[in-house]
Amino acid sequence: MKIRVYYEDTDAGGVVYHSNYLKFCERARSELFFELYPSIFEAKTGHFLLAKANCAFVKSAKLGDILEVKNKLLEVKNASVLLKQELFRGEEKIFSAEFVLVYVKESKPQVMSKELKETFVRLFSTQQS
């Protein structure tokens, strides 16, 4: 997914706020689901919550930059997934993060169905860099 950096994403000096890197990654994950598995948003049975984020801010993004988010599925467990997402400006990596997403129902971690696990693998296998 490509994202343009707008004024609202930056401080007065035109540098992207650190929290917006996380928003860019969230948008990329959501867009992938909207495009390839939209029914996950309609399901009333469960959803994913961010449980852990390990971020590396490599370089600053600036107003007007075109950023590309690349996704990689690192691990699928019974109730969680580990994703790596990186932001690039051209060939230059500017941000990298590993996210643990936990599958929950009724506010408690739950085991994902085999179908959901397979769907996760399928979704992110189309995006691996």
Active site residues: 11
Interatomic CA distance for residues 95 and 59, integer angstroms? 7
Among 78, 89, 64, smallest CA distance to 112 is for 78
Q: How far is CA 119 from CA 33, 56, 74, 83, 103, in A?
A: 10, 28, 14, 14, 13
Q: 55 in helix, strand or coil?
A: strand
What would the two tokens of residue 75 be? Answer: 């691990």
